[in-house]
Amino acid sequence: MHINESSSWQPKIIVFACNWCSYAAADLAGLNHLEYPADVRIIRTPCSGRMDPLLVLRALNRGADGVLLSG
């Protein structure tokens, strides 16, 4: 299978963002009217260091093409 460069396929990305660090940056980006792709979903987590690894597997199992854990 070859990847067609003109394809409109966009990966579905789930971002688990730490409430104390990276979520604040994502929120600030929104306040400044910066945009990110529509297929990116940001989920606020209480603390990235305490996140259950099964959440990453669950996201992939439910159709995510990639997962970003940001702390």
Tens of pLDDT, residues 14-68: 999 998 888 888 778 778 888 888 899 999 999 888 889 999 999 999 999 999 9
Q: Are 48 and 68 in contact (CB under 8 A)?
A: no
Instruction: Spell out the residues 6+ positions from residue 42 whose beta carbon is closer than 8 angstroms to its own.
Output: 15, 17, 23, 26
Q: How confident is the model at residue 1 (pLDDT cuts 50, 70, 90)?
A: low
Instruction: Please tell me the distance from the alpha carbon of residue 59 to that of residue 21, in angstroms, as a whole number.
Output: 21
pTM of the model: 0.78
The strand pairing partners of 17, in sequence order, are 44, 70
Structure-token pair, residue 65: 């093409």
pLDDT at 8 over 70: yes
